[in-house]
Every structure is written in C-alpha cells, then in structure tokens.
C-alpha cells in the first residue's frame, strides 16, 4: 500500500472509531435517549477534530504498526486523553456543563478501539502472515534491553535463520519470567546444562557493555558446549553507527584478551592534530593504517600516507576516502631507505607531526637477513628523523616494540638502535622526538593469531614453540589510540611504554582459538616445535634501569633510558655492509645492549 493510501485508510478508520466511541458511550449510559442531541453533536465534532490534531502530533499515522509496542501504546494514550480533555473544555464553554461519565466511557471506548485497530494488525501478522522461523534454536545471553531487541528483531525478520528459544541472565528477579513470550531459563553457570536440555544450536551474547572479565566467564561456559557462539557488536560501534544490532559477529580471541578501554584526552590529541598536516610512514601496514584511521577522526588539515607498497597504500586511501570524503588525503610511494626522496617529501609536505610506523618486524626473517633490518629499521629511521628535523617538524613519534628491551634478536636490536637515534635527534634538534613501545598486537600481519587460524582451518596441528612462552597482547585500535595519546604528552626524548596488561601464555591462546573454532585438542592437536632463533621466552616493556613507576597517563608510562654514544651507531651505518651475517648479528646485539667497550675492543683486535 502506498504512503498516501495508508494515511487515508488510517484517517478513515480513526474517524469512524471517534464517532462510534462517543455514540456508543451515550448509548451505554442512556440507551433510551436520542442520539442526536446538541451535546452529542458538539462533542462528536470537537472529539473528531481534536483526535486528528493529536494523532498528527504524536505521529499515529506514521508508525509501523506491525512492530507496535509500548512506545506506540503511549502515543495512542496521549492522543486519546488530550482529545477527550479538549472535548471536555469545549462542553464547558459551549454547553456550560461537562458530562464526566459520558466522557470517561468515551475515553475507554476510544482507547480500546484505536489500540485494538492498531495492535490487531501486529497480532494477525505474527500469527498468520509471518512464516514460522524453523531456524536454529538460539539462546540469547542477556535479558536486558539489548537482548530484548535481538529477540524482537529475530522474530520480526523473515530472513533470519535463528529461532530464539529463551534467555540467560544472572538477574534473579528475571529468572523463570517471560520476555516477549520467551522464558528466562537460568543463569550463566547453567549454560551447558540448558544447551543440552533445550537442544540449543546457536548462542548470541547480547550484552554490548559487558566487562572483559565477565565476557571471559561467559565465553568459557559457551566453549564447553561446542555450539556456535556470536556476540552483539561493541557499544562504541553501535553508538557511532558503524554496525547495526543485527550484525552479529563470531567470538574472537580479542574478546578474551582485550582490556577495558581507556578514556582518551580528546582535547590534548586535537590540539596537535586538528587542522595540522600529519604524515604517517608505513601507512599501509596494520599499525600504520589504524593510526591513520584514528588520526582521521580528529580532522587534520592534510593526512599524508607514505609507504613502500602501492597496494596497501591504495587500500587505506580508498577506505579513508569512502568513509571520510571531506578528509584531505595525499599519498607518497617511497622507500624510507631513499634518503633524497624522503628529504624532498618532508620539504614539500612540511608536516606538523610524523608518526613513524615503517619497519621490518618479523623476528625469524630478520635473523636471516640482518643487513635488511639495518637498512630499514636503522638507516630508514635515521633518514626520516633527520629529514623531519631539517623540515622543522614539530613532533616525531616513532613506534617501537617491547623486543627492543634487552634484545636477543636482530629485529629487537635494530629497533633499540632506532630508539637511540631518535633520542639523539631530540638532543640536537628543535623537533620533539619520542618513541612509543608496546608488545604484540592482535591480528597484525605476521602475528601468531592469523597463523593459528590458518592451521586450524587446514585441520591442524597448531604449532607452538614452547609451553611456557608468554607474550603481551593489545588490540590494534587500542595501541593506535594510545600512540596518539602519547604523542600529545611528548616533551622530547621520552620512550613511552604502553601498559600491556597481563602476559598471556601462547599455548593458552592456541587452546582458546581451537575451542572458539568448535574443535577439541583431540581433533586439532597442539605440537611444540622449540624456540626459533632470536626469540625470547618472555618479553619486557622496560629494562631494570629504565623504569618510572608512575603512569603519566592511564596505561602510559615514561621510560628513563640511558645516554648513548651516537658515534657507534653512525659507525654501524657506514660499515655494516662489510660484515658477515653472523658478525653483524653480534655487532647489533652489542650496540643495543650497550656493550660498546667490548665492541670497540674487538674492532681494534681486528
């Protein structure tokens, strides 16, 4: 039915109901009286006009009545009540008397007939028109507003393949009651029992504001059942409109490892990003691209995406242009090892802030190719830092790693040396240079989680180096937000360290992923392969001589790193290509771990 025909039909139905309700009320009270007295005629005209006035005000003709609920009933109540009150005022003015009993009966008849005409459509639709779901028997965890919304949406969607059976909630006041004709079956601890008892085939966790610890407890109960479990999108995504309530997602390991989000100092970040030119190196990488997304929220004057891989730069450029069409974006395809090109870009773009995310990060690969790690992580950083200083950049933020602490690998050593270069540049330049360290990020390229997922997809086994190996983990968005926050705190020369929470055993991570994928360890076994070259059993965020106990901001610490001899690093830049892979590995470790005197003694012997 077209919009105009629908409005006309509702107006006609309401007009008949208004006239019928007032005549019926007089007939009930005065069955022998004449139906065409002045009182009835005046009351009918006033009630007729006032009803349509208030029906328009409360949008009774614009509501979708097949989904009618409390909100629609409230609108009917207000429209009818105010129209009857206006009729009473008209009786008093025109007739000098108010027929309270008649108006009370009219009000009741009016409510019943208007409400009945609207809600009967929903009743008819739910009973006869809407096909029975016949989908997977679904248990909804959370009987609050979000859970109720999910249940209503599943029932009202003809395309849904999920049939809600009941709710789970720890609120004792809701237990054994019904919501939308669905029972609250029990509490969280009873999930496994209820799944078996009611033959549940699907679980939806519908508590978007749930804390991490509580989420862990619920997911732990759900994984015992081997039933596919999905979750409602996060509250922040619902609020921003990035996703809708019916866009359920699979439970990911991030749900188990993430922490409570920290509130950012929006004004502090905006002060140094909004209306400024910002340049990001490595903008196509997993960290660099997320830094770009976070920066874009603060409306920079220009966002310059610099990277070596054209495909990854193109992908983040297209994403940002699609989501933020008003954002001024520029792209630069360049290798940070190309010193002349980097200096030209800095002089041309004149960025206010640089986020330096470009680096080689894969530990085993860099062990086999130490010269490439030096070229990219050391010389590349030196090029970008010196170009930033020459272009009078205000703030330079280098993204580092926990592997730079007491490094045992080529990758960690080159990142520590890059930190030294940044600290030295802060001492001799007007630009503020800082570094930000954090551990592993979930889902980044080369991280263990995509590897585990591929192994599970291929039927296993899942390979773990050592049963005691632990790592710190953080989500990419959280790490990127805290990098921006650290940049706002920069005074120059600091090495900021992000609070990574509690370390996680890699074998526990593997077990969780296997369970979340619906398998057991008997089906997907875990195999221990032994530690690879350059790997540590555990990572550190600060060395013993670097620790400041107080946080400069929630989840951000400031490290106190020792003074370094920059000449040793510059000697490295000039002579590293003359060394063998093995001697270069040793030299990098010596420099990064401050064994400089030993290194020079060895040089003199040679």
Counting other chains too, the contacts that 71-78 makes at CB distance below 8 Å and 24 or more residues apart are 72/118, 73/115, 73/119, 76/111, 76/114, 76/115, 76/118, 77/111, 78/54
Q: Could you tell me which residues come within 8 angstroms of residue 150 by beta carbon, excluding any fewer than 6 positions away?
A: 140, 164, 204, 206, 232, 245, 246
275 neighbors 300 (Cβ within 8 angstroms): yes
CA–CA dist 261, 475 (Å, integer): 10
List, in sequence order, every beta strand (DSSP E) within 109-248: 136-141, 162-168, 178-179, 182-186, 202-205, 228-231
* Whole-number Å distance between alpha carbons of 43 and 19: 9
Could you tell me the CA-to-CA distances from 540 to 104, 288, 492, 503 in Å, in that order?
A: 76, 23, 23, 10
Identify the H or E element spanning 488. Answer: helix 476-489
Whole-angstrom distance, CA of residue 465 vs CA of residue 463: 7
Which one from 234, 382, 403, 536 is the annotated catalytic residue?
403
Are the C-beta atoms of residues 471 and 510 closer than 8 Å to each other?
no
The C-alpha angle 142, 147, 151, rounded to 5 degrees, equals 130
Residue pair 108/171 in contact by the 8 Å Cβ criterion: no
Task: Give the DSSP letter of residue 376.
Answer: I
E-strand spans in 247-289?
249-250, 277-281
- Judge whether 296 and 316 are in contact, CB under 8 Å: no
- Is 403 a known active-site residue? yes
d(CA 181, CA 426): 66
Helices 38-57 + 70-95 axis angle, to 10: 140
Q: Which residues pair with 307 in a beta bridge?
A: 333
CA distance 470 to 505: 4
136-141 and 162-168 beta bridge pairing? parallel
* Residues recognised as catalytic: 403
């Amino acid at each position: 039915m077209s919009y105009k025909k629908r409005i006309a039909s509702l107006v006609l139905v309401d007009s008949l109901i208004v006239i019928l309700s007032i005549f019926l009320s007089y007939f009930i009270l005065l069955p022998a009286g004449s139906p065409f007295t002045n009182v009835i005629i005046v009351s009918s005209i006033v009630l007729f006009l006032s009803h349509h006035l208030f029906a328009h005000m409360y949008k009774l003709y614009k509501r979708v009545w097949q989904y009618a609920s409390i909100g629609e009933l409230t609108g009917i109540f207000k429209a009818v009540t105010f129209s009857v009150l206006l009729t009473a005022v008209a009786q008093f003015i025109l007739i000098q008397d108010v027929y309270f009993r008649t108006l009370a009966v009219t009000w009741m008849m009016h409510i019943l007939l208007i409400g009945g005409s609207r809600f009967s459509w929903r009743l008819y639709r739910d009973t006869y028109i809407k096909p029975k779901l016949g989908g997977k028997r679904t248990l909804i965890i959370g009987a609050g507003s979000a859970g109720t919304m999910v249940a209503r949406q599943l029932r009202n969607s003809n395309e849904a393949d999920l049939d809600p059976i009941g709710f789970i909630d720890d609120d004792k006041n809701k237990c054994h009651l019904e919501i939308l004709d669905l029972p609250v079956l029990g509490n969280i601890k009873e999930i496994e029992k209820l799944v078996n008892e009611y033959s549940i085939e699907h679980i939806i966790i519908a508590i978007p504001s749930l804390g991490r610890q509580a989420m862990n407890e619920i997911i732990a109960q759900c994984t015992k059942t081997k039933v596919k479990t999905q979750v409602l999108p996060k509250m922040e995504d619902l609020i921003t409109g990035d996703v809708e309530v019916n866009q359920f997602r699979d439970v990911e390991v991030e749900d188990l490892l993430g922490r409570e989000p920290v509130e950012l100092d929006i004004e502090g970040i905006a002060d140094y990003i909004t209306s400024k030119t910002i340049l990001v190196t490595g903008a196509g990488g997993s960290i660099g691209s997320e830094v770009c997304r976070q920066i874009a929220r603060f409306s920079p004057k220009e966002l310059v995406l610099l990277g070596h891989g054209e495909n990854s730069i193109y992908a983040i450029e297209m994403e940002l242009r699609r989501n933020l069409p008003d954002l001024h974006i520029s792209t630069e395809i360049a290798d940070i090892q190309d010193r002349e090109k980097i200096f030209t870009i800095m002089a041309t773009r004149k960025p206010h802030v640089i986020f330096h995310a470009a680096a080689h990060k894969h530990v085993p690969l860099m062990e086999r190719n130490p010269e490439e790690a030096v070229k990219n992580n050391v010389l590349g950083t030196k090029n970008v830092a010196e170009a930033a200083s020459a272009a009078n950049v205000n703030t330079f933020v280098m993204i580092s790693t926990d592997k730079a602490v007491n490094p045992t690998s080529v990758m960690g050593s080159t990142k520590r040396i890059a930190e030294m270069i940044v600290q030295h540049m802060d001492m001799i330049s007007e630009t503020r240079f800082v570094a930000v360290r954090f551990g592993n990020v979930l889902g980044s390229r080369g991280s263990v989680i995509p590897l585990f997922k591929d192994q599970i997809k291929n039927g296993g086994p899942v390979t773990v180096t050592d049963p005691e190996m632990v790592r710190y983990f953080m989500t990419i968005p959280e790490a990127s937000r805290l990098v921006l926050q650290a940049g706002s705190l920069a005074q120059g020369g600091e090495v900021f360290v992000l609070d990574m929470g509690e370390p996680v055993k890699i074998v526990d991570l593997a077990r969780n992923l296997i369970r979340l994928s619906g398998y057991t360890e008997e089906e997907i076994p875990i195999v221990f392969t032994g530690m690879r070259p350059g790997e540590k059993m555990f990572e550190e965020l600060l060395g013993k001589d670097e620790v400041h106990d107080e946080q400069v901001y929630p989840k951000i610490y400031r490290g106190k790193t020792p003074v370094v001899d920059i000449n040793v690093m510059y000697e490295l830049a000039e002579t590293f290509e003359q060394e063998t892979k093995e001697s270069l590995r040793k030299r990098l470790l010596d420099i990064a771990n401050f064994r400089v005197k030993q290194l020079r003694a060895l040089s003199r012997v040679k």
